[in-house]
Structure 1
Amino acid sequence: KISTTKERCFTFGRNLLRTSLDVKTRTLTYSGLEDFGGDIESKFVSSELTDHALVFMFQRLVDNVTQPISVFASKGPVKGVDLVQLIIKAIILLEDAGLQVMALTCDGASTNKTMLKQFGVSGKRADLKNYFTNPYDGNRNLNPSNNFIKWDHYRQVLNDSKSMLKICPKITNYHIVLNNLTKMKVKYATQIFSNSMAVGLQFYRTQNCNGFDDSLETQLFTTKINDMFDAMNRKFPAEGIRENSKDLEILNQSLEWLDQWELMLDQGLIEEKEFLTKNTAESLRRTLKSTIDLVMYLLKECDFKYVLTSKLNQDSLEKFFGIIRQTSGPKDHPSTPNFLQLYRLDTDYTPLITIQDLKNSINENDESFVREKKILILKSHIDEIIKERKWDMDDVFRDTDFEDDRTFNCIFG
């Protein structure tokens, strides 16, 4: 194997829970209270009921292997300062096991912004810094004279589609009239800022339809966002980003376009309402710069033939949360004990190997025969017990720590 099998993307996210308190009869302890596994001093003993779950996950950059590695139960979102402690420890443990953490992916929550600020990360145009020192290895480190971009153009596409052949059949009223829920749907955003929408705007304008005379800038903006999203979401080897890929050019042009747009605001050529919000602009700038730098590092330093940028997003984490919500029944949010149990079950039912197994496979230590030998010994031992009609569980699992309460909870939830 080559060294690229070591590279991982580290991601984390939160899931809302219902407060609930259960009693563990084996240990006479409570399940449903805040629990950080002793990693945060101020949370060693807490009587607060949990309503959030923080999940850490890593995913490989060369295939579809993803693995949740830890879950923390908290009351409210975990503070940014506490996130720093947990992330540093997780990175050190992963690196110590032989894995290389190349990127950290998170959403734009306020606590995450605090965490990034603690790491010294900044998305400001004049002070852009999109990285922080790896705690394990310090070496890895619009023209204002043009027409406005108008949301009304998208609304007009929907209205005209009601009375004639639909140019953009996927666009519905839910795409145009947004509420707090629909604003969070990525599907709606990608369908609005899509190539088909840009073609639709061009078609209506060339047909001299009412309301589309000044839609050129909206069309160009739609195309730019569509190209940027596609470049950030490459999933298949045939479209992977290479050194001379057009996607790299698109990402660099998008970063330059964003800087020029903000520069016009600083120079007073446009008003504040004609630019993105501060948080959106800084987050987008960090994302673009981080993606460009990481892609170039993987191509030049790690000998990647291509990079699939979809490996750098949080889709795998959202899929994991979706599985948890589906298996928790008809409730909107699972209770804390249910979530912790489902987390263990889902982790066990996925192809799971230990960190030591990962380290051995990475270092090409061919010890598979040792595992096979142990399995054969266990099978012969169980066959012997069945033949002699001995059903004592202690005989089956002798010389193990399976009777330990922590092991019992991990296996049986």
Structure 2
Amino acid sequence: MSISDRSCIVMFDEMSLAPNLQYNIKEDCIDGLENTGSYKRAAIADYVNVFMVKGLFRKWKQPISFTYSKGPIKSTLLKHLIVKVIGKCREIGLKVLCTVCDQGSANQAAINSLLSQSRSCSEFQVNGEKIIPLYDIPHLFKGIRNNLLKKNLYIKLDNKLNIAKWEHIIDLYYIDRDAPMRICPRLTEQHVIPGKINKMKVKICTQVFSYTVASHLVTFSKWKDNLPNDAEQTGAVIAFLDGLFDSCNSSSKTAPEFKPLLEALSLSSPHEEFWSRAIYVFKQCQILLPC
């Protein structure tokens, strides 16, 4: 592998397991008990934590570590594993530049501890090398959606205050559902009705935060006896979130004219300008309970 091919990220995630015990003839031991790699404990494991490395400039990925625990992994152990895995990657010649995980409480605690130890708010060090911790983009967007289900989002776009309300999205769904021909056929109750939403599926979230939903909120708000006028503000916020997701999820060299942020990042692409604006927008936004 060339030097650039060795540049990679370390990803880690946790999932629950169905408890199960099995005798391992080859190792003469019982599988299914808590095993952190450093020690085993006589407790039936029901969680697994997996680490994977993925190339940054070349498409390759490889799971490299998994540990079993009784209950969710503790942040102190996770912190130790992060440092150990990155160190092992360095020993075999890989250049780890960043980590990626979701916003689980143990993940946040472990990352914050590493940042505090390095006296930084944006990077930590392992054996003198800088590592940038990142949170998984789809989970961040699901977090925004989950907050918007119960609270209004006050956000300033182009010097205009916009208030995004989930009730506008529900209203749009019912208007479209009862129409002779649907214009948002992908929207279902599982997308918009709070008690029926599958909160784990990223697709359910991104199909709501879409260009189609944004454009129809803006259009319908201007028609009499349809959506209220302030639904246009919700449409503007969703259009902004759709562009933000595109900018963080681009993979092709070219993009549709109406969605330029789907283009891969380059010196001439609009990403840097958009991200500078997005940082400014998020610094000023507020999430408040509706009156």
TM-score bin, normalised by smaller chain: 0.7 to 0.9
Asked if 1:241 corresponds to 2:265, the answer is yes
Q: Please name the residue that 1:136 is paired with.
A: 127
Report what 2:135 is aligned to.
none
- String of CA shifts for 1:125-178, please: whole Å, max 9, x gaps: xx9822112x13435673598453111111111111123232211111111113
What's 1:87 paired with? 82
Provide the TM-score with structure 2 as the length reference. Answer: 0.80
| CA–CA distance in structure 1, aligned partners of residues 240 and 273 of structure 2 | 12
Q: What residue ranges of structure 1 are gaps of 5+ in the alignment?
A: 39-43, 263-270, 275-413
Residue 175 (structure 1) aligns with:
191
Deviations 1:247-295 (A, max 9, x none): 2222221111111125xxxxxxxx7437xxxxxxxxxxxxxxxxxxxxx
Question: Which residue of structure 1 lines up, in the alignment, with residue 234 of structure 2?
Answer: 218
Alpha-carbon spacing, 1:55–1:254, altered in 2? closer, same or farther (3 Å)? same
Deviation digits for residues 45-85 of structure 1 (CA, Å, limit 9, x no counterpart): 41010101111001111233110001111111111111111
Alignment of 1:144-159 (within 5 A): 146=161, 148-159=163-174
Residue in 2 that maps onto 1:160: 175
Contact 2:97–2:130 (8 Å) recurs in 1: no
**Equivalent position of 2:151 in the other structure:** none
User: CA–CA distance in 2 between the matches of 1:157 and 1:128?
Assistant: 44
Output the amino acid matched with 1:58: V
Counterpart mapping for 1:332-347 below 5 A? none
Separation (CA, whole Å) in 2 of partners of 1:147 and 1:252: 19
Tell me which of 247, 254, 259 is aligned to 2:278: 254
Q: Does 1:16 align with 2:16?
A: yes
Matched to 1:103, the amino acid is C
Give, in whole Å, the separation in 2 of the partners of 1:87 and 1:97: 16
Evaluate the alpha carbon distance shift between residue 243 and residue 129 of structure 1 in structure 2; reply closer, same or farther with a 3 A threshold. farther
Question: Under a length normalisation based on structure 1, what TM-score does the superposition of the two structures give?
Answer: 0.58
2:207 paired residue among 177, 181, 191: 191
State the SS of the aligned residue for 2:285.
Answer: helix
Taking a change above 3 Å as real, the CA distance of residues 178 and 184 of structure 1, as seen in their structure-2 partners, is farther
1:12 and 1:56 in contact (8 A); partners too: yes
For the 8 Å contact 1:121–1:130, the answer to whether it is kept is no
Question: For 1:174 and 1:67, how far apart are their aligned partners in 2?
Answer: 34
Q: Is 1:227 aligned to 2:243, yes or no?
A: yes
Q: 1:214 to 1:79 in 2, by over 3 A?
A: same
Q: Which amino acid aligns with 1:30?
A: I
Note the alpha carbon deviations across 1:180-236, whole angstroms, 9 max, x for none.
Answer: 861221111101110000111122123334333111210110011101111111122
Larger radius of gyration: 1
Question: 1:295 maps to which residue?
Answer: none
State the match for 1:310 in structure 2.
Answer: none
Mean Cα displacement is larger for which, 145-154 or 25-34? 145-154
Determine the structure 2 residue equivalent to 1:318: none
Which structure has the higher relative contact order (CA within 8 Å, separation 6+)? 1
Q: Percent identity?
A: 25
RMSD, matched Cα? 2.5
Q: Work out the CA distance in 2 between the residues paired with 1:104 and 1:139.
A: 11
Superposed CA deviations along residues 13-57 of structure 1, whole A, max 9, x for unmatched, are 11211111112234432111111222xxxxx24101010111100
8 Å Cα contact 2:99-2:131 kept in structure 1: no
> Greater share of helix residues, 1 or 2?
1
Query: Aligned equivalents of 1:120 and 1:209: distance in 2?
Result: 53
Query: For residues 172 and 224 of structure 1, what CA distance do their matches in structure 2 show?
Result: 22
How do 1:3-402 and structure 2 match up within 5 A?
3-38=3-38, 44-120=39-115, 129-133=121-125, 135-138=126-129, 142-143=155-156, 146=161, 148-164=163-179, 165-179=181-195, 182-238=198-254, 239-262=263-286, 272-273=288-289
Q: Which runs of 4+ in 1 moved over 6 A?
A: none
